[in-house]
Amino acid sequence: MTGARRGPDGRFLNPDGSNGGKRLGEVLRLMFGGDGKRWPRRQRDAPQPPPAPPPTGHVAVTAIGHASFCIAFAGGPVLLTDPVWSKRASPFRFIGPRRARPPGQALAALPRPDAVLVSHNHYDHLDLATLRRLAAAGAPAVLTGLGNAALVRRSGLHDVTELDWWQTHMLPGGHRITYLPMRHGSARNLRDRCRALWGGFAVETAAGARLFFCGDTAWGPHLEQIGARLGPFDVALVPIGAYDPRWFMDSVHMDPEEALRAHRALHARTSIAMHFGVFKLTREAIGEPAERLAALRGDVDFRIPAFGETITLPFDTRD
């Protein structure tokens, strides 16, 4: 498998060779086409207990909200994915997508992470304010895609490793992290579209657990390639929301039907839904992604976590 390719302008391309992300004209068309279904200003959920350490042979996955998870492997590392505890996914404190519900757990209630996985630089996935809090609390290592290290280091986290697609990194203890191609894009402003790489992660612990974290992606054959090469996965964290209207979002995000297709392509034993119900990025109602998935999944083990819930699952120890 090869790493990411760049176009003639030096910008990264998607696995299928398409340009990642959205152009300004498309964004303006979406902005002036209406906001879609109204979301509640504040959604209240039942509080969940802080996560407990998983028993031997298990992994504990705590859903903080959107793409933020705390993942604790028995006998392995504690990982934090795309941590965002801020009130807005925006460069500004007064405008931009605002949290409809608070983080499911306080940052202080979680075990100290051994590493932070940052999938890409969009504001709903890379939040400098939260990374500064992590830096002040113990400065874990950060793994991310090419071109993101300088931005992450602005938070005070200096142990940052950039990875190309299919490149691996070993954590202390013999745990393997692989950065994976996704069909999406990157940008922090109007001038840096696709200058930094986006992707997901596969985690294989020394004890044999295998976990997939998507980050963000549209459907594509890259998911089948990942499943064939690195699967089966004990757990896959798969996005189900921010998909409407499809003319705009189908090249960057999956809908619930495609999320189920991804579950099968990845050969996941259990999938856990993510990327829904926190930031209003598109036009569907706040509860629609979870409702559609619940109606479609049948006997497929595709969990819809409560916000703050810890799902503890066994993993397959392979020889």
Q: What is the pLDDT along the chain (319 residues), one digit of tens a residue?
A: 789 999 999 999 999 999 887 665 566 555 545 568 999 999 999 999 999 999 999 999 999 999 999 999 998 999 999 999 999 999 988 888 999 999 999 999 999 999 999 999 999 999 999 999 999 998 899 999 999 999 999 999 999 999 999 999 999 999 999 999 999 999 999 899 999 999 999 999 999 999 999 999 999 999 999 999 999 999 999 999 999 999 989 999 999 999 999 999 999 999 999 999 999 999 999 999 999 999 999 999 999 999 999 999 999 765 4
CB atoms within 10 A of CB 264: 13
Using DSSP's 3-state secondary structure scheme, residue 233 falls into strand
Retrieve residue 93's tokens.
């404190």
Retrieve residue 193's tokens.
């579209």
Burial label, 9 (beta-carbon count in 10 A; 0-12, 13-18, 19+): exposed
Enumerate the domain spans of the chain. 58-314
DSSP letter string, 25-37: HHHHHHHTT---S
Cα 134 to the center of its chain, rounded Å? 18
- With a threshold of 0.85, does the pTM exceed it? yes
Topology adopted by domain 58-314: Metallo-beta-lactamase; Chain A (3.60.15)
